[in-house]
Amino acid sequence: FAFTANGWVQSYGSRCVKPPIIYGDVSRPNPMTVFWSKLAQSMTSRPMKGMLTGPVTILNWSFVRNDQPRFETCYQIALAIKKEVEDLEAGGIQVIQIDEAALREGLPLRKAEHAFYLDWAVHSFRITNCGVQDTTQIHTHMCYSNFNDIIHSIINMDADVITIENSRSDEKLLSVFREGVKYGAGIGPGVYDIHSPRIPSTEEIADRVNKMLAVLDTNILWVNPDCGLKTRKYNEVKPALTNMVSAAKLIRTQLASAK
């Protein structure tokens, strides 16, 4: 990988990124996130989630070498991430999220090529975590998208939990994830918009969760923000997360009382 000094590309709004250039074979000579993940885990008795970007998303958000098929480069990235995942697990991290936010956006324009793309994309994701123990929980995350035509590929990724951006969508988006019940995966639709500085109240989040429960079973629903929080200030993050946790506790109490 190589990064330019000034090769900025707009991501959304005023947010810009510098996509890396993949100019040769990909490998991982040293751990990337293990030190900081272990440090964070040492400060709490609660499970600390390791966070990694998935191989398909890295590929789709990079300028990729054109002297070999894209899927071969993706497999190289997947093998590098696999080493990181195994080192995280060995370091005591029992929950590891491998984001595939850009899975769908890589679909070829020709529909006839969709099946081949999805086949190697799913295979790449499964390579990243094929060596973990059954006790290690694998999560993935996807951005706003139409999941209906790729739901079977999402299921084939075999993640334990899928989180999706959802706060600006209605609950119709979630109906397709009823399929997840077939293999026991958890689903975490975003309960508040992390792109806004607005802090949602406990009652507002609880109301959203109740609407989700009208579509999804209680045993598969996870409560989480839409996406990562790096665009938010700390004085926005803490009260929003506090209200989210309070809402989850409130819903649990309501569900227990209803039994």
**Backbone phi, psi, residue 172, to 5°:** -60, -30
Q: Is 152 a catalytic residue?
A: no
Catalytic residue among 114, 139, 152, 195: 195
CB 175 within 8 Å of CB 217 = no
CB 176 within 8 Å of CB 155 = no
101 SS3 class:
coil
102 SS3 class:
coil
Strand order in the sheet with 161-164: 49-53, 95-99, 137-142, 161-164, 186-189
CB-facing half-sphere around the CA of 163: CA atoms within 13 A = 20
What amino acid positions are annotated as catalytic residues? 195
